[in-house]
Amino acid sequence: MTNREQAANACVEILDTAFFAALCEPVRVSLIRELVLKGRSDIQTLAADFPQDRSVIARHLKIMQRAGLVRSEKIGRQTFFELDGPAIADKMSSMTKVIENIAPICCP
C-alpha cells in the first residue's frame, strides 16, 4: 500500500460522518448554543426556546447523542442533556492529528 493510500484510508477512518452530520443542522447548532448557555437541561427547558415540538427537539438530541456531542441522564420521567466537552475535544484533537500527519503526503 502506498503512502497516499494509507493517508486516504486514515482520513476516511477519522472523519466521522455522524459527527459532522449532527453539526450540519441549524437546529442542532442552536441546541449546542443553548446547552452552552444553560448547561445541563431537560428537553422541556430546551424546547421552550424553539418553534419545533418537544418530540422534534428530542429527536435532534438523540442524533447528537449518537454522534458523541451530548450525553444524557434519565431521572424519573425527565431526561437531562449536556454537552460532552471531553468527547468533542478528543474527537476534534484526533482528527486534527491525523490530518496534520497526512497533509505532507496528500497536500503539501
Domain 3-101 has CATH 3.30.390.50: no
Q: What is the pLDDT of residues 52-77, one digit of tens each?
A: 999 999 999 999 999 999 999 999 99
List 80's β-bridge partners, or say none.
42, 73
For residue 48, is pLDDT > 90?
A: yes
Q: What does the pLDDT read at residue 12?
A: 82
Q: What is the per-residue burial (b if ≥16 Cβ within 10 Å, else e) of 23-42?
A: eeeeebeebbebbeeeeebb
Reading the block at residue 55, the C-alpha cell is: 418530540
pTM for the model: 0.85
